[in-house]
Amino acid sequence: MTTLNIEQWGLFETRFTGPAEGNPFLDVTFSAHFTNGDQTLKVNGFYDGSGTYCIRLMPTALGTWNYTTHSNASALNGLTGSFECTAPSAGNHGPVYVHNTFHFAHADGTAYYPFGTTCYAWTHQGDAMEEQTLATLKEASFNKMRMCVFPKDYPWNKNEPPLYAYERDADGNHDFTRFNPAFFQHFEQRVGDLLKLGIEADIIIFHPYDRWGYARMDADTDFRYLSYLIARLAAYRNVWWSLANEYDFMLEYKPMERWDRFFQILMAEDPYNHLRAIHQGHPEDMYDHNKPGVTHVCIQHPQVRQVVQWRKQYGKPIVDDELEYEGNIFYPWGGISAEEEVHRFWLMVLNGGYAGHGETYMHPDDVLWWSKGGVLHGESWKRIAFLRQLVEAAPGGLSPEIDADSGVFPRPVSQWLWNRYAGGFSGDYHLLYTAEYQPRTLMLWLPQDDSYQFELIDTWEMTITPAVVRKLAAPPSYAYPAPGRPEPTYEVDMPGKIRMALRITKR
């Protein structure tokens, strides 16, 4: 007998035949215990239609995993099996978790810095466009995708989806007690496609843009849907749970208690504790991201400099997934220039947060990347890839140079003058950004007895060139008299251009 080998954090799946009569989604319970030495994981299975029942596992440890199934259907109860968990293949670093309070890392310790994009309804556009989206993603440098499970009804999003999440009768009425397995098979295929590209799937479970009834299902239907989703998808290592897009636009019919319950269900039923967040619509009146189920803060806000305060307020990673999109539509949330999009990314990331991209250029066929995917038309995505490279060259994620309480920059590189520029550091790696300012010189307060590499970065042209830097014997004439303050030690020639950066690496 050959042993089945599954790599660590890979996807083990096994299928059984069971009852097809009645309503298996309601009638049949199905789960399994997986054990490996001291470890036991309880995993819910799911009905996949046509009398097929499925159990999936993402093995979290090397070695032999044995399982036993449990069901109220005798054909599915007490079944056993095993597989061997082998070392992960190259590029498989496991699921992403919170690391070092404000940052993320894969399960194997590899740093993960989210540079995501958004194609809310890309899995509902048919294979041709979906394949085009995947081809685009392969060329771009995004490593997270915000995407809705349910199809979307919204301006520029009026097309019917190829598949529906529930069975429908001839009149288009849904039976919300019967999932449509083909819909979910297709969705998880796309999650798997992203996984192959090294892209985390930030799965939006509920959203208000709806004409089919998915947004306004009752509580029990919502809970059943969420459990089904977990049973199907949790074993994909690239899954992040985003409970909602703009949850607050649904409070009228999904009250806060239900959202709390959703977090509880995720915590109880996802054996791997994938990342959990919730996204809101109104920029003020924030969701209480301090709630324990919330692993990181997903934000929609154009005022990205506030990340310094959000870090302090929540003590969790901050991801501003909607700092507004590059585009040219009427709505300001989808109308900023590529330059502004890149600028906000820099401000966000240097201040110790993360950001999400989107693109909303008007299109003759209403194919806007932010919703349908397709191809990128804009200019920001390349610069975001460039920023990603710079951040990945920093060991362990950037922290802001600015102090949230005092507004002062305590780091010696930047000092008290940097209150309108932005600076992020990681150990002795500093990235300073001039934002909307165009200085001809920068003063620095680095210890002169250390040795550094200084590089000038054009954030738009994506060039990195050696900077001209002078050690100062005395402060330059334009320095404020500063009794009691340390004196600047270096002066850097700058090009007098906005949105430049300086990288300082201690040698």
Residues that bind a second copy (CB under 8 A): 155-156, 158, 302, 327-333, 335-337, 340, 362, 366, 417, 419-421, 434, 436-443, 477-480, 496, 498
The CA distance from 103 to 197, in Å, is 22
- The C-alpha atoms of residue 380 and residue 338 are separated, in whole angstroms, by 5
- List the structure tokens of 227: 């459990």
Shortest spacing between CB 332 and a second copy, in angstroms: 4
Report the distance separating Cα 239 and Cα 225, nearest Å: 16
Alpha helices in 140-239 (DSSP H): 181-196, 219-233
Strands 354-356, 318-322: pairing kind: parallel
Minimum distance of a second copy from residue 211's CB (angstroms): 10
Backbone angles phi, psi at 407, to 5 degrees: 70, 10
Residue nearer to a second copy on the CB measure, 48 or 153: 153
- Whichever of 169 and 285 has its CB closer to a second copy, that residue is 285
- Nearest distance, CB of residue 339 and a second copy, angstroms: 8
Please enumerate in sequence order all residues whose Cβ is within 8 A of that of 9, keeping only pairs 6 or more positions apart, or say none: 58, 59, 60, 88, 92, 93, 94, 95, 107, 237
For 232, phi then psi, to 5°, come to: -80, -40
Taking the complex as a whole, how short is the minimal distance between the CB of residue 354 and a second copy, in angstroms? 21
Q: Please, which residues bridge with residue 470 across strands?
A: 491
Provide the 10 A C-beta neighbour count for residue 427. 11
Please say whether the beta carbons of 34 and 57 come within 8 A: yes
Which residue number, 215 or 442, has a Cβ lying nearer to a second copy? 442
Question: What is the token pair recorded at 141?
Answer: 């440098």
| Closer residue to a second copy (CB): 50 or 477 | 477
Q: Compute the distance between CA of residue 125 and CA of residue 368 in angstroms, rounded to an integer.
A: 12
Q: How far is the CB of 117 from a second copy (least distance, A)?
A: 19
User: Min. distance of Cβ 132 from a second copy in angstroms?
Assistant: 22
Nearer to a second copy, 225 or 433 (CB): 433
Q: How far is the CB of 444 from a second copy (least distance, A)?
A: 11
If the CB atoms of residues 124 and 377 are measured against a second copy, the closer one turns out to be 377
Nearer to a second copy, 137 or 435 (CB): 435
Q: Which is nearer to a second copy, 325 or 452 (CB)?
A: 325
> What is the CA 409 to chain-centroid distance, rounded?
29
What is the helix (H) or strand (E) element at residue 26, kind and residue range? helix 24-27
Rounded Cα distance between 137 and 251, Å, is: 34
Contact present, 414 and 388 (Cβ < 8 Å): no
Of 106 and 411, nearer to a second copy (C-beta) is 411
The encoded tokens of residue 30 equal 């199905």
**Measured from the CB of residue 402, what is the shortest distance to a second copy in angstroms?**
13
- Exposed/middle/buried for residue 52 (C-beta within 10 Å: 0-12, 13-18, 19+): middle
* Nearest-approach distance from CB 367 to a second copy, in angstroms: 13
Measured in whole angstroms, the distance separating CA 460 from the mean position of its chain's CA atoms is 24
